[in-house]
Structure 1
Amino acid sequence: MKIKELRSRQFWRALLAEVLGSLIFVSAVLGSSVPGPADMAQGPLYPALAAGMVAVALSHCFGEISGAQVNPAVTLAFLATRRLDLLRAAVYILGQCLGATLGAALLYLLLPLKSAAEVYPSKVSSEGNAGQALGMEVLATFQLVFTIFSVEDQRRREGSEPGNLAIGFSLSAGVLTAGRFSGGSMNPARSLGPAIITGFWEHHWVYWIGPVLGSVLAGVSHEFFFVASASRQKLVACLTCKDIEIMEAASVSRSSLSTVTQAAMRAKQANKQDHN
């Protein structure tokens, strides 16, 4: 099954989408972080706006191809909740890190500003410490990924709800909240690319542990406690590697969802059984 997937054109299109999406995302965020004229105010506002807007654009461009995750923390949250298999998650993360590194390198070559290298890497604020920055990354990433899972759940149930603006607003809010303390990365690839190009690795662990921890906590709490199909059986199915979608359908049938939604879930299970 895995070998067949590796031969699939859709699989490699999804990988390319994650590479290109990460390149675009990182170059946009870093470009907005470059200092302007001396009389222009500096701060997280421009990176926050750039991150939110480019996230909405990438969702439209690559959402149907790979989900436009462009973030290893988001990918690991989908893996932890079994919305993504291990092979695809590993390939996505490699592609995201590659795209982020290419984006940082491209912008570093195109902008002949030595001062730009000072704002590229994710840094802990001089007013705080690594522990505080870690906490801000956890909180900011938690609210972002919880929003992503909420949007994905609504898409599965209703089909026509894009939710891209909600994700963009959530990303901008996270950058504005954590920007002054940790840079508001919320994305290990976004921090890894500039670190590779500039050679700045101080407190780099913060930008992996913080986003991954916040992301996985958000995904697990949403899927197994807050979503309409949440149930103890669903959590047990996930932990024991059973078919989680069957448990999810059973939970949905007992919830207060509309009959149209229940019919859609039953049709999904029927199609899956026919395919198998």
Structure 2
Amino acid sequence: MTLREELQRRQFWRALLAEVLGSLVFVSAVLGSSVPGPGGDLATGGPLYPALAAGMVAVSLGHCFGEISGAQMNPAVTLAFLATRRIDLLKAGAYILAQCLGATLGAGILYLALPLKSAAECYVNKVSSEGNAGQALGMEALATFQLVFTIFSVEEQRRREGAEPGNLAIGFSLGAGVLFAGRFSGGSMNPARSLGPAIITGIWEHHWVYWIGPVLGAILAGVSHEFFFAAGASRHKLLACLTCKDVEMVETASVSRSSLSTVTQTAVRAKQANKHDHN
């Protein structure tokens, strides 16, 4: 499909609007849960409230926008889909712009609602004073890896079974990532979630950590799942991706061969069982 044809499709613009609105709601929910409690204590609840908010809103947004745009709402997730050729370059670039716009709008709305503007500093992901940027980078990469691996596993199950069991798993994975990385880096796992508050507050300290870490972890998770752990994973599929061939065609052929092999093995077992019973 050409660029002009893609831009003329109503579905394309619906998906972009879904990513803007989804990112706005997601960032608003996470930042709202980080608002200082009574007495101005910024540490009230620690990372627990943001983790619960992130997990629950991810589940609800998955139901709202999953069929429209995939409810990605995260540039790292989008780049992982691009790296595994699940989406094309045009759609990936448009999704990332929409996600960053939605995140910035969400952070801006929350900033305008704050009675004390100084409290907006708690919105910005920061490297722990007890650690360093390298440790925060590693935690962001690890947390995003487990999140994106879960997303790819859920997507594979949906393609094979056509069911809708995975939004809860993604929500749990996101909440767990915020909990175990929150003390070190804030548990962003989402460059747009970090970019929006940085634009609104003007605080850019160690901002590169929240792009490189999540993107690295997401791409590693997507590639490892698609080409090593998925049911249709094969050397031919990896070579097809590296040589810009049709990955879906190779995957379909691989699954077909696997299904044929399973049918053949089942027939052989049945024949041996009948022969044994006859004897």
CA displacement at 1:255 relative to structure 2: 2.7
Native 8 Å contact 2:111 2:117 kept in 1:
no
The answer on 1:43 being equivalent to 2:11 is no
Match of 1:60 in 2: 63
Q: How does 1:53-202 map to 2 (within 5 A)?
A: 53-202=56-205
- Over residues 78-101 of structure 1, what are the superposed CA-to-partner deviations in whole Å (9 max), with x where a residue is unaligned? 000000000000000000000000
Q: Under a length normalisation based on structure 1, what TM-score does the superposition of the two structures give?
A: 0.91
The answer on 1:9 being equivalent to 2:10 is yes
Q: Under a length normalisation based on structure 2, what TM-score does the superposition of the two structures give?
A: 0.90
The answer on 1:26 being equivalent to 2:27 is yes
Q: AA paired with 1:63?
A: G
Distance 1:255 1:10 in 2: 34
Of all paired residues, the percent bearing the same amino acid is 84
Distance 1:154 1:102 in 2: 34
Residue 110 to residue 257, structure 1, CA distance change in 2 (3 Å): farther
Native 8 Å contact 1:22 1:96 kept in 2:
yes
Q: AA paired with 2:45?
A: Q
The answer on 1:235 being equivalent to 2:246 is no
Native 8 Å contact 2:233 2:251 kept in 1:
yes
Structure 2 gap segments, 5+ residues each: 264-279
CA displacement at 1:33 relative to structure 2: 0.6
Q: AA paired with 2:183?
A: R
Distance 2:107 2:91 in 1: 24
Distance 2:140 2:197 in 1: 17
RMSD value, Cα: 1.6
Distance 1:256 1:33 in 2: 49
Native 8 Å contact 2:19 2:72 kept in 1:
yes
Native 8 Å contact 1:35 1:42 kept in 2:
no
1:255 is paired with a residue of what secondary structure? helix
Q: AA paired with 1:234?
A: K
Q: AA paired with 1:73?
A: A
Aligned length: 260
- Over residues 142-174 of structure 1, what are the superposed CA-to-partner deviations in whole Å (9 max), with x where a residue is unaligned? 000000000000000001133100000000000
**Structure showing greater Rg:** 2
Structure 1 gap segments, 5+ residues each: 261-276
1:152 is paired with a residue of what secondary structure? helix
Q: Which of 59-68 and 245-254 deviates more?
A: 245-254
Residue 112 to residue 39, structure 1, CA distance change in 2 (3 Å): closer
Distance 1:73 1:39 in 2: 33
CA displacement at 1:37 relative to structure 2: 1.4
Native 8 Å contact 2:143 2:189 kept in 1:
yes
CA displacement at 1:114 relative to structure 2: 3.0
Match of 1:270 in 2: none
- Over residues 71-122 of structure 1, what are the superposed CA-to-partner deviations in whole Å (9 max), with x where a residue is unaligned? 0000000000000000000000000000000000000001212342120111
Match of 1:223 in 2: 226
The answer on 1:214 being equivalent to 2:217 is yes
Match of 1:263 in 2: none
